[in-house]
């Protein structure tokens, strides 16, 4: 199957001499939900910028659904929907007009553009604001308006550059659900984020980018399998003053009622319970510490010989 995007040896050096991309190569399969993960300034937005033509590449080739973006720019642009990192619509325009106008730029007749605008504003919970100026929306709503605008021409590939930055938890969760829904319906999604939980929750495949280079490109499952150690949080029935000594496990008190225990991949959780039982420490409940990917990301960044 032709990949949704195929990037080969992509370089980008900005006018000020900053090398944002140093020869990255990347394939994303059609239908995938793909995360491009990295710290600020790692090169994520530059990659999205090159795909959307807002950033001119210095060297390399970029194909979207098998078509070269240089020689087929009109066709590749029709296949792309772009949600930028920063809000970039006219704040004085009405919400509905912003989406309908974008449909017009993609050649949609007015009637169809209006139908699509209504469809996506309803799905993203913005319909009751459709007649208001965009400046009246909250930060989270503005980000959802960017998504509605990017979807109005129903692209095959949606590029999301930090789609939930600064969005509260409730709106973030509902945005995730919406994105999962359109991905199930067939839209390929590439998402850049530095919320590691977001990538872990949504994406099947992942590339980690650091200092303009891809340092990992694999499936989320195999990436997480690489974790040699996982941290668990135990909610204790009674508070304790000092962290207990557990044979074979390192642990620390997060607070008097929460104990964090590190479990290596060759160890069993049963043994942790046995140790706690022996010390007469009763566990009320237990959960994963949610930063598994974060640990992995940091460990990748800190590989010997790698600049961080």
> In the bound complex, what is the minimum distance in angstroms from residue 73's beta carbon to other proteins?
7
**Interface with other proteins (CB under 8 A), residue from 21, 35, 47, 52:** 52
Radius of gyration of the chain (CA): 23
Please state the separation of Cα 191 from the chain's center in Å: 4
78 binds other proteins (CB under 8 A): yes
71 binds other proteins (CB under 8 A): yes
In sequence order, which residues have a C-beta less than 8 Å from that of residue 51 and are 6 or more positions away? Answer: 5, 62, 64, 69, 80, 159, 190
| Residue 120 burial (CB count, 10 A) | 24
Report the C-alpha gap between 292 and 308 in whole angstroms. 19
Binding mask 140-179 for other proteins (x = CB under 8 A): ---------x------------------------------
Strand partners, 5: 28, 64
Question: Which residue number, 102 or 231, has a Cβ lying nearer to other proteins?
Answer: 102
Strand stretches in 213-270, DSSP E? 213-219, 229-236, 250-255, 258-264
Binding mask 187-226 for other proteins (x = CB under 8 A): ----------------------------------------
Binding mask 14-43 for other proteins (x = CB under 8 A): xx----------------------------
Q: What residues from 81 to 120 belong to the interface with other proteins (CB under 8 A)?
A: 82, 84, 86, 88-92, 97, 101-102, 104-109
Question: Which residue number, 73 or 136, has a Cβ lying nearer to other proteins?
Answer: 73
Report the C-alpha gap between 156 and 150 in whole angstroms. 11
> In the bound complex, what is the minimum distance in angstroms from residue 257's beta carbon to other proteins?
48
Report the C-alpha gap between 184 and 199 in whole angstroms. 16
Backbone angles phi, psi at 161, to 5 degrees: -100, 105
Binding site for other proteins (CB under 8 A): 14-15, 49, 52-56, 71-75, 77-78, 80, 82, 84, 86, 88-92, 97, 101-102, 104-109, 149
């Amino acid at each position: 199957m032709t990949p949704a995007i195929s990037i080969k040896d992509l370089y980008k050096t900005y006018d000020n001499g900053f090398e944002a991309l140093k020869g990255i190569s990347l394939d994303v399969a059609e239908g995938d939900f793909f995360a491009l993960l990295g710290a600020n300034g790692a090169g994520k937005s530059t990659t999205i910028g090159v795909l959307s033509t807002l950033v001119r590449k210095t060297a390399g080739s970029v194909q979207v659904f098998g078509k070269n973006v240089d020689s087929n720019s009109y066709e590749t642009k029709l296949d792309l929907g772009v949600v930028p990192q920063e809000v970039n619509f006219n704040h004085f325009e009405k919400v509905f007009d912003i989406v309908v106008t974008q449909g017009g730029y993609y050649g949609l007749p007015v009637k169809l553009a209006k139908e699509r605008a209504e469809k996506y504003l309803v799905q993203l919970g913005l319909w009751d604001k459709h007649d208001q100026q965009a400046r009246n929306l909250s930060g989270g709503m503005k980000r959802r308006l960017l998504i509605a605008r990017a979807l109005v021409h129903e692209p095959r590939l949606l590029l999301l550059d930090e789609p939930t930055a600064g969005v509260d938890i409730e709106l973030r969760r509902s945005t995730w659900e919406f994105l999962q829904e359109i991905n199930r319906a067939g839209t390929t999604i590439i998402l850049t984020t530095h919320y590691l939980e977001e990538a872990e929750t949504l994406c099947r495949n992942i590339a980690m980018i650091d200092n303009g280079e891809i340092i990992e490109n694999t499936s989320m499952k195999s990436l997480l399998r690489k974790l040699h150690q996982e941290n668990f949080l135990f909610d204790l029935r009674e508070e304790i003053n000092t962290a207990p000594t557990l044979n074979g496990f390192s642990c620390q008190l997060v607070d008097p009622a929460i104990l964090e225990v590190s479990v290596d991949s060759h160890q069993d959780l049963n043994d942790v319970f046995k140790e706690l039982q022996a010390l007469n420490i009763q566990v009320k409940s237990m959960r994963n510490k949610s930063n598994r990917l974060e640990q992995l990301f940091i460990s990748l960044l800190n590989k010997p010989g790698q600049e961080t």
